[in-house]
């Protein structure tokens, strides 16, 4: 009996007299405490499974899991392992007076651990009930998602890209206008500038909105606001136009540095109506000279996007159609004629190239005749571009 009392007495001697009964209680309630711990652990496992299911559903929706939920699941996983270890230890400590004396100390320690662990489990159960939300919608990818794979680093395009980036780095320049004919590749270059600007850490956010996607169509202010808000991960709940503009303006002011790219602009934008704060850097891609003229007095810088050179045009067409233009002189003659009629417009060259790529020589000649006829008939490339792009 002495062997039993000495270790226990040594342990409880650390406590005041009135908690002594509680210390003995750990020993005499060993089985009950371990059993209660197992029951509470099973309930926590059920709750853990429920939270995990919610997390998986959120991930499948593309949502971001809240950090406190990640921490909770990680901590719960650890405590479940600790409980399993306590349960395993308890199986080897079932006898005391009928076995070896040291088991009494082990049982006392296990029982005490079980009681403390149950308090921790209760806290985790309460935390799970207090989650405001498991996840939140992830902001849509920025310009890196929409960056064009069609951008080809020709000398003329590298030069234009560098000009735009240099202008955007200037503190006094708040707007850059990319001007060029339809089909010249303004959209692709704008995306490339946005991607480069993000890589260079010139801006924390780069977002892009298409103002007028095709001839004859218009996009209202709300649609433009929604495009920008989507890329910023912003939910605009205000109903009034002024309220929506103020909400977007507030978000953009809170961002450290943001570049807003407006593509396919046909007329001067009312930036205040959209919700673009003064001082926010913007880039506008347009084929309309009057758009830049309207912003010239405000210090907007224009970068002219020129047609591809003959060498660049031919290189692009060969890239699309493959080796056939080099291997067959007949195809090469017609190809040179087609490329010449495309006037150095990248979109035109790519579109025509894709159409004739797998055709016989007659198809190539037909394409050349159609391009020439439309060019002569219209005097400009609008109908031609509508036909091939």
Please check whether residue 386 is in contact with residue 183, taking contact to mean a CB–CB distance below 8 angstroms. no
Which sign, positive or negative, has the C-alpha torsion 255, 258, 263, 265?
positive
Q: pTM of this prediction?
A: 0.66
Count H helices, E strands: the chain? 18, 7
Per residue of the chain (389 residues), give pLDDT as tens.
Answer: 444 445 545 554 555 544 555 665 565 577 787 788 888 888 889 999 999 999 999 888 778 899 999 999 999 899 889 888 888 777 766 555 555 455 777 777 777 777 888 888 888 888 888 888 888 877 666 665 555 566 677 888 889 999 999 999 988 888 999 999 888 889 999 999 998 998 899 998 899 999 987 655 667 899 999 999 988 888 898 989 899 999 999 999 887 789 999 999 988 889 999 999 988 999 999 998 888 888 877 778 999 999 999 999 999 999 999 888 888 888 999 999 999 988 899 988 988 999 898 899 998 999 888 888 776 554 455 555 566 55
C-alpha 73/C-alpha 62 separation (Å) is 19
So where are the chain's domains?
Answer: 2-136, 143-304, 310-388
C-alpha 308/C-alpha 190 separation (Å) is 16
Q: For the structural domain made of 143-304, what CATH number should be given?
A: 3.40.50.300
Q: 279 is written with which tokens?
A: 């001082």
In angstroms, what CA-CA distances link 264 with 213, 222, 353? 6, 17, 24
* CA-only gyration radius of the chain, Å: 35
């Amino acid at each position: 009996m002495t062997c039993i009392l000495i270790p226990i007495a040594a342990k409880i001697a650390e406590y005041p007299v009135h908690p002594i009964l509680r210390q003995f209680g750990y020993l005499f309630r060993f089985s009950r405490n371990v059993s209660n711990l197992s029951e509470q652990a099973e309930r926590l496992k059920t709750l853990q499974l429920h939270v995990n299911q919610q997390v998986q559903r959120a991930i499948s929706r593309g949502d971001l899991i809240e950090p406190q939920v990640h921490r909770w699941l990680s901590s719960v996983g650890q405590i479940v392992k600790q409980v399993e270890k306590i349960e395993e230890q308890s199986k080897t400590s079932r006898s005391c007076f009928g076995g070896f004396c040291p088991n009494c100390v082990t049982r006392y320690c296990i029982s005490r651990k079980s009681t403390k662990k149950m308090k921790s489990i209760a806290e985790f159960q309460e935390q799970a009930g207090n989650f405001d939300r498991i996840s939140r919608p992830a902001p849509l990818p920025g310009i890196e998602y929409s960056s064009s794979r069609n951008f080809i680093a020709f000398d003329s395009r590298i030069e234009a890209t560098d000009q735009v980036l240099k202008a955007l780095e200037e503190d006094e320049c708040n707007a850059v206008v990319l001007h060029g004919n339809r089909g010249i590749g303004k959209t692709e270059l704008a995306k490339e500038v946005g991607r480069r600007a993000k890589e260079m850490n010139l801006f924390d956010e780069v977002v892009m909105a298409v103002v007028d996607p095709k001839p004859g169509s218009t996009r209202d202010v709300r649609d433009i606001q929604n495009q920008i808000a989507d890329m910023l991960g912003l939910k605009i709940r205000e109903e009034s136009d002024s309220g929506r503009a103020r909400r977007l303006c507030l978000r953009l002011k809170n961002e450290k540095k943001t570049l807003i790219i407006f593509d396919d602009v046909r007329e001067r934008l009312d930036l205040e109506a959209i919700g673009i704060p003064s001082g926010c850097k913007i880039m506008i891609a347009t084929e309309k000279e009057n758009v830049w003229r309207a912003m010239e007095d405000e210090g907007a810088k224009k970068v002219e996007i020129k047609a591809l050179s003959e060498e660049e045009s031919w290189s692009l067409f060969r890239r699309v159609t493959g080796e056939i233009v080099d291997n067959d002189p007949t195809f090469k003659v017609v190809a040179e004629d087609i490329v010449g009629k495309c006037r150095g417009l990248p979109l035109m060259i790519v579109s025509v190239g894709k159409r004739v790529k797998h055709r016989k020589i007659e198809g190539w000649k037909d394409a050349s005749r159609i391009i020439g006829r439309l060019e002569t008939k219209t005097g400009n490339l609008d109908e031609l571009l509508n036909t091939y792009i």
